Structure 1
Amino acid sequence: MAKSILIPKQLQRFRLMLEQSAMEYMRCMPNTKTTNLMNSKLGGMPYLPKGATHPRDATGEYMLLLAQINFSEDSFPSPFPTKGVLQFFISSWSYEQTLKTGNILPQNYFKIRYFPITVTHEMIEDFTYLQGVSMHQFPFKKELSLSFSREIEPVSATDYRLNEYIPPNLVEQFTQTEQQRFSDIYFHYFSSADHKMGGYPYFIDEDIRATTVSLRKYDTLLLQIVSDDEMGIMWGDSGVLKFFINHDQLEKRDFSDVLLYMEDY
């Protein structure tokens, strides 16, 4: 593990349980540094080797690059790749589509693409064909570079698996003895409301996997982007975008089945 978990005094009685739930993740830190086509970034222009096509959505419109991760720039925890470039594209119509489909975006309005091997001598550099694509509801208006920090965290306050690690009867005992709601204390320290890859997700409402068993196969957080005033990142009304994938599929570098769940207030 990268680091030990910092557990506040109020939650020390749950230390063993929280340590059992611990997972490593990559914290993603956006900044305003200039990027090139190969760099990790939010927004901007993608790495596209010549011969590759730019993804289009269900309407035939070009999608926009939401995020690009170059795994050679840092050491990512397993089961993430150790090399190559992973890209997340979304449609400019994605916000309207999530309003129609209960926050789950249909896969023909986003695209995950992975290049296990990259070339720098033959890349597409002319993206004038994107000039007509609307940026009106895109979560950020300018390109942001990404840097990374490898961290460790216990199960998050809104992940459905919290009840598996800390039983409801212990939660009730805590509330009675501390005269404070366990959920309030736990959310304060472990909301997981960060830009990240891996680890546990943050939900505004509730973890949809709690009531929809068929979605539990999406057990790995591939990427989470939260609204961030400081960096000019805003999805709808202070929303969050989460990409989930099955652990085994990620190990196989198979990105054909990914769940994109979007929430806002």
Structure 2
Amino acid sequence: MSFENEQTNMEKIRCCQRIVEDIQAKNQQPVCHLQFNREPFNILDSHLGGIPYLPHNQKYPMGADGQMLWLCAQINFSQMPRMDEFPDEGILQIFLSEFNYDGGFGLYSEEDSTIQRQWRLLYYPSVDENVTEEECREKMPCSWEDGAKSWRTPDKPLKMMFLPIGQEKINHNDFRFDSFFASALTYCLPGANPKEYMPYGLRDDTSDERELLNKIRKQIEIGGCKIGGYPRYTQDDPRLYSEECGKPLEEWDTLLFQLDDDTFTFPAGDVGGMDFNLNGGTLNFLIRKEDLKNRDFSQVLAQWACS
């Protein structure tokens, strides 16, 4: 293969396409996409927002500042298709703070985004079916309805449904994608500059070039509401900043849960113009595979960012 200054723009685009296809063929993860609807649900069901399941002896979770946290998501793993490493029973809950501009939904209250002070994850390995919605409602310091003026995510309770398990290819947001691309380019074209071949660095001067580039870019833009797969970031992948955090964040390798506001590109059920109140962004929770195996949800890497 000739060097980049001897190649036409279309040849560079085709080289980019081959590299992307090779990277995605070698990097895939199991994924369970989520759908939401406005159907009624009970206290044990998987859902967004509303009233959380709370065992008889469990108090309602509060932030470190003593303020109420709101249920973002409740996942009943017995309702989800079996996926490697994930529990097949029990309930996992994600609680967030009301939004403020300094701390987001409580996720930026600490420099270390794995510290749960103004947000919390709770996991109940077994579920008591005798717990009622009414007793859980009574434990809430403020009812969901009375907090309607708060900026919460989601802004409305929704029932959660699970699609069959599939395989998802790596996307361009992943912190490893650029290095994978550079290595593959060096292998097939030693001395070439990766910036001259990256999907977002190439020109699209003709309709044929534009058509092929759009196909490649769509191929690496993967998002949606899901468990597993690869996270989508509207800003940088936080795992790029291990040094600033003082932790090897690249070890957080499993997507525990993601809410994606872009339901136009990545539909999440027939909920009309549903806005998860993420302001056009994504909410991601990553966990280390070993922690997931051990059902240890105390060290989860969280991020919310909008475009």
TM-score with structure 2 length normalisation? 0.73
Instruction: Name the counterpart of 1:24.
Output: 30
Is 1:144 the counterpart of 2:158? The answer is: yes
Structure 2: distance between partners of 1:133 and 1:59 = 18
Q: Percent identity?
A: 25
2:170 aligned to 155, 166, 175, which one?
155
Q: Which moved more, 1:102-111 or 1:86-95?
A: 102-111
Instruction: Name the counterpart of 1:166.
Output: 181
Structure 2: distance between partners of 1:73 and 1:47 = 15
Amino acid at match of 1:119: D
Q: Which moved more, 1:33-42 or 1:70-79?
A: 70-79
The within-5 A match list for 1:6-45 is 11=17, 14-45=20-51
The within-5 A match list for 1:42-61 is 42-61=48-67
2:258 aligned to 224, 234, 240, which one?
224
Aligned 8 A contact 1:90 1:109 in 2: yes
Aligned 8 A contact 2:283 2:305 in 1: yes
- Select the structure of larger CA radius of gyration: 2
Instruction: Name the counterpart of 1:204.
Output: 234
Is 1:126 the counterpart of 2:149? The answer is: no
Q: Give the paired residue count.
A: 255
Structure 1: distance between partners of 2:221 and 2:75 = 24
Structure 2: distance between partners of 1:247 and 1:257 = 11
Q: Per the alignment, do residues 114 and 105 of structure 1 end up closer, same or farther by CA in structure 2, a change over 3 Å counting?
A: closer
TM-score with structure 1 length normalisation? 0.84
Instruction: Name the counterpart of 2:293.
Output: 251
Alignment RMSD (CA, Å): 3.0
Aligned 8 A contact 2:109 2:117 in 1: no
Structure 1 residue 103: deviation in Å?
A: 10
Structure 2: distance between partners of 1:71 and 1:143 = 19
Structure 1 residue 164: deviation in Å?
A: 4.2
Structure 1: distance between partners of 2:212 and 2:251 = 28
SS at match of 2:23: helix
Q: Which moved more, 1:121-130 or 1:79-88?
A: 121-130
**Deviations 1:50-82, CA, capped at 9 Å, x for gaps:** 001111002212211100011111213211111
For structure 2, the 5+ residue unaligned runs are 1-15, 186-193, 264-271
Instruction: Name the counterpart of 2:117.
Output: 108
Q: Which moved more, 1:114-123 or 1:128-137?
A: 128-137
